[in-house]
Amino acid sequence: MNINNQSTTAFEGQKPGTSGLRKKVKVFQQPGYLENFVQSVFDSIGDFQGQTLVVGGDGRYFNAEAIQIIINMAAANGFSRVLVGQDGILSTPAASCIIRKHHAFGGLILSASHNPAGPDEDFGIKYNIGNGGPAPEKITDAIYAKTQTISSYKILKSSVQVDLSKIAISQIGAMSVEVIDSVSDYAELMQSLFDFPAIRALLASDFRMCFDAMHAVTGSYAKVILQDMLGAADDSLINCIPLEDFGGGHPDPNLTYAKELVDIVYSNHAPDFGAASDGDGDRNMILGKHFFVTPSDSLAIMAANAKAVPAYKDGIAGIARSMPTSSAADRVAKALGLDCYETPTGWKFFGNLMDANKVTLCGEESFGTGSNHVREKDGLWAVLFWLNILAVRGESVEHIVTEHWKEFGRNYYSRHDYEAVPTDAANQVMQHIRDQFESLQGSMLAGRKVQTCDDFSYTDPIDQSVSSNQGIRILFEDGSRIIFRLSGTGTEGATIRLYLESFEPDTNKQNMDAQDALAELIEASESISKLQHFTNRDKPTVIT
Ligand code: VG1
Ligand code: CO
> Residues with Cβ < 8 Å from 31, sequence gap 6 or more?
none
Decide: 128 in ligand 1 pocket, CB within 6 A: no
Q: At what angle do helices 33-42 and 63-77 cross, to 10 degrees?
A: 40
> Residues with Cβ < 8 Å from 533, sequence gap 6 or more?
none
pLDDT higher than threshold 90 for residue 51: yes
Same fold: 3-182 with 410-543: no
282 C-alpha to center of ligand 2: Å?
A: 5
| pLDDT digit string, tens, across residues 332-363 | 999 999 999 999 999 999 999 999 999 999 99
| pLDDT digit string, tens, across residues 207-263 | 999 999 999 999 999 999 999 999 999 999 999 988 899 888 889 999 989 999 999
Element (DSSP H or E) covering residue 265: helix 259-265
Of the chain, the end-to-end C-alpha distance in Å amounts to 53
Contact 124, 130 (CB under 8 A): no
Residue 525, pLDDT score: 96
27 C-alpha to center of ligand 1: Å?
A: 21
Residue 489, pLDDT score: 83
418 C-alpha to center of ligand 1: Å?
A: 15
pLDDT higher than threshold 80 for residue 1: no
Closest atom of ligand 1 to 113 CA is 19
428 C-alpha to center of ligand 1: Å?
A: 22
Active site residue 322: no
205 C-alpha to center of ligand 1: Å?
A: 36
| pLDDT digit string, tens, across residues 103-131 | 999 999 999 999 999 999 999 999 999 99
Element (DSSP H or E) covering residue 35: helix 33-42
**Average pLDDT over every residue of 75-92:** 97
| Banded pLDDT at 392 (limits 50, 70, 90) | very high
Domain boundaries, the chain: 3-182, 186-408, 410-543
pLDDT higher than threshold 80 for residue 486: yes
> Residues with Cβ < 8 Å from 499, sequence gap 6 or more?
324, 365, 413, 414, 415, 481, 482, 483, 484, 485
d(CA 434, CA 423): 17
Decide: 371 in ligand 1 pocket, CB within 6 A: no
Residue 18, pLDDT score: 84
Number of the ligand closest to the Cα of 470? 1
Residue nearest to atom 6 of ligand 1 (CA): 19
Decide: 282 in ligand 1 pocket, CB within 6 A: yes
d(CA 115, CA 113): 6
| CB-based burial label for 287 (10 Å; 0-12, 13-18, 19+) | buried
Decide: 284 in ligand 1 pocket, CB within 6 A: no
d(CA 397, CA 399): 5
pLDDT higher than threshold 90 for residue 490: no
114 C-alpha to center of ligand 2: Å?
A: 6
Number of the ligand closest to the Cα of 366? 1
Closest atom of ligand 1 to 283 CA is 18
**Average pLDDT over every residue of 522-534:** 95
Decide: 488 in ligand 1 pocket, CB within 6 A: yes
440 C-alpha to center of ligand 2: Å?
A: 36
Decide: 347 in ligand 1 pocket, CB within 6 A: yes
Dump the DSSP string for 50-104: T-EEEEEE---TTHHHHHHHHHHHHHHHT-SEEEEEEEEE--HHHHHHHHHHTT-
Topology (CATH) of 410-543: TATA-Binding Protein (3.30.310)
Decide: 113 in ligand 1 pocket, CB within 6 A: yes
Average pLDDT, the chain: 96
| Banded pLDDT at 26 (limits 50, 70, 90) | very high
d(CA 540, CA 381): 30
Backbone angles phi, psi at 17, to 5 degrees: -95, -150
| pLDDT digit string, tens, across residues 287-330 | 999 999 999 999 999 999 999 999 999 999 999 999 999 999 99
d(CA 53, CA 122): 24
From start to end of 157-252, where are the E strands? 168-172, 175-180, 209-212, 237-238
Contact 18, 24 (CB under 8 A): no
Closest atom of ligand 1 to 346 CA is 10
| CB-based burial label for 30 (10 Å; 0-12, 13-18, 19+) | exposed
383 C-alpha to center of ligand 1: Å?
A: 19
Dump the DSSP string for 281-312: S--EEEEETTEEE-HHHHHHHHHHTGGGSGGG
Contact 222, 213 (CB under 8 A): yes
Contact 37, 124 (CB under 8 A): no
pLDDT higher than threshold 80 for residue 528: yes
Number of the ligand closest to the Cα of 91? 2
Within a 10 A sphere around the Cβ of 49, how many other Cβ atoms?
Answer: 9
Decide: 43 in ligand 1 pocket, CB within 6 A: no
Decide: 378 in ligand 1 pocket, CB within 6 A: no
- The closest of 135, 275, 178, 299 to 218, measured between CA atoms, is 275
Element (DSSP H or E) covering residue 410: strand 410-421
pLDDT higher than threshold 90 for residue 375: yes
| Banded pLDDT at 492 (limits 50, 70, 90) | confident
**The domain over range 3-182 is classified in CATH as 3.40.30.10:** no
Contact 263, 237 (CB under 8 A): no
Decide: 369 in ligand 1 pocket, CB within 6 A: no
> CATH for 186-408, among 3.60.150.10, 3.30.720.210, 3.40.120.10, 3.40.50.2300?
3.40.120.10
Residue to probe by mutation, ligand 1, list 246, 280, 345, 413, most atoms within 8 Å of CB? 345
Backbone angles phi, psi at 355, to 5 degrees: -60, -35
Q: At what angle do helices 92-101 and 184-193 cross, to 10 degrees?
A: 90
Closest atom of ligand 1 to 282 CA is 18
17 C-alpha to center of ligand 1: Å?
A: 9
Within a 10 A sphere around the Cβ of 149, how many other Cβ atoms?
Answer: 9
Residue to probe by mutation, ligand 1, list 366, 470, 495, 498, most atoms within 8 Å of CB? 366
d(CA 322, CA 473): 13
Decide: 72 in ligand 1 pocket, CB within 6 A: no
Quickly list H helices, 374-418: 379-393, 397-408
Number of the ligand closest to the Cα of 281? 2
Closest atom of ligand 1 to 322 CA is 9
d(CA 275, CA 289): 11
Amino acid at 285: M
Closest atom of ligand 1 to 112 CA is 19
Decide: 346 in ligand 1 pocket, CB within 6 A: yes
Residue nearest to atom 13 of ligand 1 (CA): 487
Decide: 325 in ligand 1 pocket, CB within 6 A: no
Question: Pick the catalytic residue: 19, 44, 113, 277?
Answer: 113
